[in-house]
Chain A
Amino acid sequence: MSDVIVVGSGPGGANAAAALIERGCRVRMIDYGNQDTHYAPLIPELPFRELRRGDPHQHRYLLGDRYEGIPLGPVRVGAQLTPPRMYVLASARENIPVDAPGMSLSMSLGRGGLGAAWSAGIFPFTADELRDTGLAMEELQPYYAEVYDRVGVCGAQDDLAPFFPSAPSMMPPLELDAGTGRIAARYARRRHLLNRRGFFLGRARLAVCTRPFRGRGPCDYSDMEYWADFRRAVYRAQWTVDELEAKPGFTYLPRLLVERFRETEEGVAVEVRQADGGGRETLQARALVLAAGTLSTARLVLRSLACPGRAVPMLCNAYTYVPMLNTGMLWRPWRDRRSSLAQLTALLKLPEGRLVQSQVFSYRSLLTFKLMKELPLGLRDSRLLLQHLIPSLAILGIHHEDRPSPAKTCILLPADPDRLEVSYEPAAAEVLRQRADEKRLLSCFLRLGCLPLKTIRPGHGASIHYAGTFPMTPEDRPLTCDTDGRLRGTRRVYLADGSFFPWLPPKGLTFNIMAHASRVGALLAGRLR
């Protein structure tokens, strides 16, 4: 019997396992473990433009062998899921189905989970944002530091520092490309005025190595982040799993799907089904860490604790894209050396105390034809215009906070097999407030010379920040978790994915999930000792 079974290899699972292994525990990680072995070997390690001009096989990985990289419908969620990244979502619909009318849900059975296609944004919570969890910043801060040291983070101490707790081990930020450099320069000139309006701009803090780090990086500015993991410069949870596989005490068990768990005298028994062949077996451990992803964890918990028909909360940051014309770039030269990830982060602090967070990307390596269909012009004219316009395009991704409400729920419907159903209907007032907040944010970007062209709302679930099903709270309530991450109603089952957030600040979750998972692993290791 191992000490701990960790379910899932995403950012939560990988970091919980790492914390446990670093503290001397024996860990088995159960994972479905899809990987891309098809496209990755085809991609030459070249900068994007060079590859485009030279590689006769580029159509295979740019469009996919079954043309799965050509989106023929309206704007969809996960535009960054290029054919080499599509394995991240593969076989999820069949194996872990969710009914979610009106929502676009993305779930993963890939090695590294949804984190394998993560855009690498690092947004630690502030003490105020943690308050509802019952955790003090001092309790989580050491684990933020632990994750910084594990994943490698670049960024700058700039105007965003008050909103993101500092990190002593941060690497220098990525170089800005020409377009976002113009925006940053304008901000520097109008900073005081914009700060008075609650608008703050700074360099994106990213899980990217800008210097060599644990055998990874540095970033080569080849603009290939959406297609390949050259030098492993961008952190992926699977890098941690790879490192763990070389350590004693860690066993990775792929091609398994967890069906349920039950607590026993000695610990926890986990029933699993083999992905190939469908055989079943039971694995035992002294404790269980669930990090299968919020929705998969919800299914497992509700099924295992026999709570069918019982609704639990469901959270997901509302997300809006806004392509903007960066007028400062219209006649200025640009350069190829760039990265595809977020370049800048902007925060709007509203007088009511709310925050709206956004990230500025520039568009280049996701291919021009995908933008052509979004223009209200003939495709030939769109092509010609975009050839001149793309260097002046900035894509703003806006995140809003989310709080639980009776119309945002997740429920396991009793049937054979049981079905997970998600309902997510924000109140009309909430939607109106989000639109008003977006307007205020865009008016600040207008002062930076960025003209909004179109507002695209890809629908509920588009941020892929699913969370809040078993919220962390100091109150002793069923189907919640305590401040150690232990699921109430169990003695040895811990949650290490997005399930624990009682509300969602308008920030990417992944880094906070990793810090929480590290803390869960560390506390559990102490308890097992």
Chain B
Amino acid sequence: MNGFYPLPSEEEGILYARYLVGRVPPSGVLQRWAEARILLFDSPPDAADAALLSFVSRHAWSLGPLEAACAWLRPQSEMRRRLLVMAALLEAAPEGADDFLPRQTDLLTVPKLALLGLAAGVRTLAGFLLWPLVGRERS
């Protein structure tokens, strides 16, 4: 195993699942997460990715804003790729299906979308503000 794992598999899996869907994933998803992590992330990340992963492992609260900033600043970052794998695992489990299947649309959809968009914007902005801290900790 050559990958870079700042957190034990289960802890990392729970951190990502809590962020993505707001709860601890079922045990089957955690098992598959451990397997996928070894298969898909078998080479060490570059220094910037490693710093980001380490920062988030020490400051779990920063995952949301930093990942949102990553979508602009490092869309192919290792952290985002790991989160995507966890999202895929959650989506492909019966317990997680409803977190991903489309919701019925109605007259409230547009205001809901506006609120979600606003929250996403605020989170991204917070991520931009946090971003320099990741670099500072690395140096």
Contacts and interface: CB of A to CB of B under 8 A. Distances in A.
Nearest to B120: A381
Given A376-B71, A385-B117, A387-B102, A331 B110 contact: yes
Given A53-B97, A334-B102, A379 B120 contact: no
A332 interface: yes
B28 interface: yes
Given A67-B40, A330-B110, A369-B84, A59 B32 contact: yes
Interface stretch (B5-13, B49-57, B87-95): B87-95
Contacts of B68: 377-378, 381
Interface residues of B, number: 52
B43 interface: no
Interface in A319-335: 329-334
Interface of A: 49, 52-56, 58-59, 62-63, 66-67, 69-70, 72-74, 329-334, 364, 367-369, 372-373, 375-392
A350 to B, nearest CB: 35
Given A70-B88, A369-B88, A391 B64 contact: no
Given A67-B36, A378-B124, A49 B113 contact: no
A72 B105 contact: no
28 contacts: A52-B101, A53-B94, A53-B101, A56-B93, A56-B94, A58-B93, A59-B93, A63-B88, A73-B76, A330-B110, A331-B107, A331-B110, A333-B104, A367-B91, A368-B102, A376-B71, A377-B71, A377-B124, A378-B64, A378-B127, A379-B67, A379-B80, A379-B84, A379-B87, A381-B120, A383-B99, A387-B100, A391-B102
A329 B87 CA distance: 26
Given A331-B106, A379-B20, A388-B112, A52 B97 contact: yes
Given A329-B105, A377-B124, A384-B116, A55 B94 contact: yes
A302 B137 CA distance: 60
B85 interface: yes
Contacts of A53: 94, 97-98, 101
A332 B105 contact: yes
B39 interface: yes
Contacts of B93: 56, 58-59
Contacts of B120: 377-378, 381-382, 385
A63 B89 contact: yes
Contacts of A367: 88, 91-92, 100
A363 to B, nearest CB: 9
A455 to B, nearest CB: 17
B81 interface: yes
Contacts of B124: 377-378
B105 A372 contact: no
Interface string B101-137: 1111111111011001101100110010000000000
Residue from A372, A379, A392 whose CB has the most chain B CB atoms within 10 Å = A379
Given A333-B104, A388-B116, A67 B85 contact: yes
Nearest to B84: A373
A392 B99 contact: no
Contacts of A368: 91, 100-102
Given A369-B100, A372-B87, 19 more contacts: A49-B101, A62-B91, A63-B88, A63-B92, A70-B85, A73-B76, A331-B108, A334-B105, A367-B88, A368-B102, A369-B84, A378-B70, A378-B123, A379-B71, A383-B99, A386-B102, A388-B112, A388-B116, A392-B105
Residue from A74, A329, A382, A387 whose CB has the most chain B CB atoms within 10 Å = A387
Residue from B72, B85, B102 whose CB has the most chain A CB atoms within 10 Å = B102
A58 B104 contact: no
Contacts of B85: 67, 70, 72
Contact of A59 (B75, B92, B113): B92
Contacts of B24: none
Contacts of B108: 331
A428 B105 CA distance: 43
A390 B102 contact: yes
Interface in B22-57: 28, 32, 36, 39-40
B89 A59 contact: yes
Nearest first, the 4 closest Cβ-Cβ pairs linking A and B are A378-B68, A381-B120, A59-B92, A52-B97
Contacts of A329: 105
Contacts of A388: 102-103, 105, 109, 112-113, 116
Nearest to A66: B39
B84 A70 contact: yes
Given A63-B89, A385-B113, A388-B116, A333 B106 contact: yes
Given A58-B92, A369-B100, A383-B99, A333 B105 contact: yes
Contact of B94 (A52, A67, A385, A392): A52
A63 B75 CA distance: 21
A381 B101 CA distance: 15
B97 to A, nearest CB: 4
Contact of A380 (B19, B94, B97): B19
Contacts of A332: 105
Contacts of B92: 58-59, 62-63, 367
A388 B103 CA distance: 6
Nearest to A72: B81
A379 B83 contact: yes
A380 B80 CA distance: 11
A73 B110 CA distance: 31
B72 to A, nearest CB: 6
A44 to B, nearest CB: 12
